[in-house]
RNA sequence: GCGGCUAUAGUUCAGCGGCAGAACGCCUGACUGUGGCUCAGGAUGUCGUGGGUUCGAUCCCCACUAGCCGCCCCA
């Protein structure tokens, strides 16, 4: 019994016409990033495992159980084996590249974006795949370049609001919080742990476990009965030092001035260890449990954590798969787009096939979108095929070839006319006719 | 990693312990160089994979695989 080979669990093929939507999303993102003076960075799909362990955090689920990791065998005795990992996210790779290429030495703020596949070995669900694509950007640089300024946070958030609007995402929400410095966070963790000692026994089993293992995660609990208790817990804002409070106030004031709507979410504590101060999520209903379109935040200590110079930064990662799902759901109610193909060339008889390709070549060189039929088709079949794929049909029979005057029928109007070959391209290029 | 639901035509899905079904799509013709609307006809398939029960399994049971939903976590 031969097994048919299939895409492995959690991976999938993207086919037309959906790939057109992916391209639209990516070109929109590139266009917005360019206007904000971001340049593209492309880092390797795999990296030394230590990079992720030291940046994302040894204890996070991502690193402890979701990475695709393998031992790269040595090819020579002098070569050491290395433990490699398919990147589970891209910020670590970008910061590694920033350090490796000494971009901090330029003294300039680095504004970098990426679009590409990431890999996590999670249980697949709708909007969650083992190979998934993220669109992300990072603003990073030495403090002297202004990399710590709350203006940078606000600008990134304002850019994201612009991007989601230009993509046509309706009804997004920006949720904003601050987790403070690494020290603030540790202090809060301790405060929370203590506050939970008397409360945890009244909460769900997961919270009882989290109260000990990872108190911050209690804030994410969705069990309705636990909500009143969670509301009484200390808020992270009260554990922030004055500088972090001031930073957060400046971010919100700048957003207010720019007219970017947001809601404060005291419970928004992100899972990756490297986040400091500002953290945020843009969410959208209709994605089920995977309601986050994108998430991000500031990571002022990340560069140093992986052996680089001080290089504060802020960035985000957007789930491209989820953008596609959201846009597809929105477009369900809209009528399908008209065919992009300008004309379908129908040769009448196989002897006209070569003349048809020559004509198609001529028209395509003018920039027209042309589909080429097949001379063995009966004209009726050519019409049926043309009507499904193109806005018009160009009939190429012996008469047309001899006279140089082609027969063109426009489907939208049903009008059929004779057009000299020299005028054909111009005729087809007019939207109302072609 | 855990729990629940699901798997039948290209697609969306019915179905039943005893010949494999519908709609849409596809093909052919009515119409020999004219599509859409209509009418007539046609083909859809290892019923996810492997085992078991049974005279007989697409149906019942088990395992596996995959998808969906939730948990964990996260984009």
Reported as a single tens digit per residue, the pLDDT across A125-181 is 888 899 999 999 999 999 999 999 999 999 999 999 999 999 999 889 999 999 998
Sheet holding A69-72, edge to edge: A46-48, A82-86, A69-72
Q: A209 beta carbon < 7 A from strand B? A: no
Residue A1 has pLDDT above 60, yes or no: no
Q: How confident is the model at residue A65 (pLDDT cuts 50, 70, 90)?
A: confident
Q: How many angstroms separate the CA atoms of A353 and A345, rounded? A: 10
For A388, the token pair is: 């499904």
Residue A28 has pLDDT above 90, yes or no: yes
- Rounded, the Å distance between the CA of A23 and C1' of B36 is 31
Q: A125 beta carbon < 7 A from strand B? A: yes
Q: A299 beta carbon < 7 A from strand B? A: no
Q: How many angstroms separate the CA atoms of A252 and A243, rounded? A: 14
Pairing of strands A392-396, A370-372: unpaired
| Alpha-helical runs (H) found in A292-420 | 302-305, 320-331, 353-365, 379-389, 398-403
Predicted pLDDT at A73: 79
The closest alpha carbon to A390, from A370, A406, A405, belongs to: A370
- Rounded, the Å distance between the CA of A8 and C1' of B61 is 29
A 356-415, residues with C-beta < 7 Å of strand B: 378-381, 383-384, 387-388, 395, 397-400, 407, 409, 411, 414
Q: Write down all domains in chain A, each with its CATH number in brackets.
A: 18-181+241-329 (3.30.930.10), 341-433 (3.40.50.800)
Residue A334 has pLDDT above 70, yes or no: no
In DSSP terms, A297 is beta-bridged to: A279, A315
Residue A286 has pLDDT above 70, yes or no: no
More confident residue, A204 or A293: A293
For A245, the token pair is: 């409070």
Q: A171 burial class (0-12, 13-18, 19+ CB within 10 angstroms)?
A: exposed
A 78-107, residues with C-beta < 7 Å of strand B: 89
Residue A98 has pLDDT above 60, yes or no: yes
Predicted pLDDT at A287: 65
3-class DSSP state for residue A391?
A: coil
pTM across the whole model:
0.90
Q: ipTM of this model? A: 0.86
Q: A8 beta carbon < 7 A from strand B? A: yes
A 9-48, residues with C-beta < 7 Å of strand B: 9-10, 12
Q: How confident is the model at residue A2 (pLDDT cuts 50, 70, 90)?
A: very low
- Rounded, the Å distance between the CA of A387 and C1' of B37 is 14
Task: Dump strand ranges (E) for A64-213.
Answer: 69-72, 82-86, 110-119, 131-140, 173-178
Q: Where does residue A186 fall: left (phi above 0), alpha (psi -120 to 50 degrees), or beta otherwise? A: alpha
CA angle A423, A426, A428 (to 5 degrees): 105
Residue A434 has pLDDT above 80, yes or no: no
Residue A216: count of CB within 10 angstroms of its CB: 18
Q: Which long-range contacts (CB under 8 A, 24 or more apart) does A370-376 make?
A: A370/A341, A370/A342, A370/A343, A370/A344, A370/A345, A371/A341, A371/A343, A371/A344, A371/A345, A372/A344, A372/A345, A373/A344, A373/A345, A373/A346, A373/A347, A374/A347, A375/A347, A375/A348, A375/A349, A375/A350, A375/A351, A376/A349, A376/A350
3-class DSSP state for residue A419?
A: strand
How many Cα atoms are found within 13 Å in the side-chain-facing hemisphere of A79? 9
Q: Give mean pLDDT, residues A351-380.
A: 95
On average, the pLDDT of chain A sits at 90
**Top-ranked range on mean pLDDT: pick from A77-86, A253-262, A275-284, A285-294:** A253-262
Task: Dump strand ranges (E) for A218-342.
Answer: 263-264, 276-283, 292-298, 313-319
Residue A333 has pLDDT above 60, yes or no: no
Q: Give, as ranges, the nucleotides of chain B with any atom within 7 Å of a protein CB.
A: 1-3, 26-29, 31-36, 46, 49-50, 65-75
């Amino acid at each position: 019994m031969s097994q048919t080979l299939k895409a492995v669990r959690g991976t999938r093929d993207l086919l037309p016409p959906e790939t057109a939507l992916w391209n639209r999303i990516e070109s929109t993102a590139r266009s917005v990033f360019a206007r904000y003076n971001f340049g593209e960075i492309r880092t390797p799909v795999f990296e030394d495992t230590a990079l992720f362990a030291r940046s994302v955090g040894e204890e996070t689920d991502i690193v402890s159980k979701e990475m695709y990791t393998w031992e790269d065998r040595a090819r020579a005795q002098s070569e050491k084996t290395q433990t490699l990992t398919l990147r589970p996210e891209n910020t670590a790779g970008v910061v590694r590249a920033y350090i490796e290429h000494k971009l901090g030495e330029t003294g300039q703020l680095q504004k970098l974006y990426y679009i590409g596949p990431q890999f996590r070995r999670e249980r697949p669900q709708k909007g969650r795949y083992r190979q998934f694509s993220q669109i992300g950007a990072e603003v990073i640089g030495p403090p002297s370049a202004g990399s710590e300024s709350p203006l940078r946070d606000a600008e990134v958030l304002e850019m994201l609001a612009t991007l989601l609007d230009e993509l046509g995402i309706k009804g997004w929400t920006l949720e904003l919080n601050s987790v403070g410095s690494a020290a603030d966070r540790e202090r809060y963790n301790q405060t929370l742990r203590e506050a939970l000692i008397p409360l945890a026994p009244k909460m769900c089993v997961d919270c009882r476990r989290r109260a000990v293992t990872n108190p911050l995660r209690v804030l994410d609990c969705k069990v309705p009965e636990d909500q009143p208790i969670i509301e009484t817990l200390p808020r992270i804002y009260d554990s922030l030092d004055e500088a972090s409070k001031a930073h957060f106030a400046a971010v919100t004031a700048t957003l207010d001035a720019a007219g970017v709507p947001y809601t404060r979410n005291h419970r928004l504590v992100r899972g990756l260890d490297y986040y400091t101060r500002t953290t945020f999520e843009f969410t959208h209903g209709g994605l089920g449990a995977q309601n986050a379109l994108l998430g991000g935040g500031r990571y002022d200590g990340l560069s140093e954590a992986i052996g680089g110079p001080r290089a504060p930064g802020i960035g985000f990662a957007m789930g491209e798969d989820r953008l596609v799902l959201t846009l597809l759901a929105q477009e369900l109610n809209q009528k399908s787009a008209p065919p992009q193909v300008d004309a379908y060339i129908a040769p009448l008889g196989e002897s006209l096939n070569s003349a048809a390709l020559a004509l198609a070549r001529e028209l395509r060189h003018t920039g027209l979108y042309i589909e080429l039929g097949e001379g063995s088709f009966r004209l009726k079949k050519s019409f049926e095929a043309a009507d499904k794929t193109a806005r018009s049909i160009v009939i190429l029979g012996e008469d047309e070839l001899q006279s140089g005057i082609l027969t063109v029928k426009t489907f939208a109007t049903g009008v059929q006319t004779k057009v000299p070959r020299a005028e054909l391209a111009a005729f087809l290029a007019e939207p109302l006719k072609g």
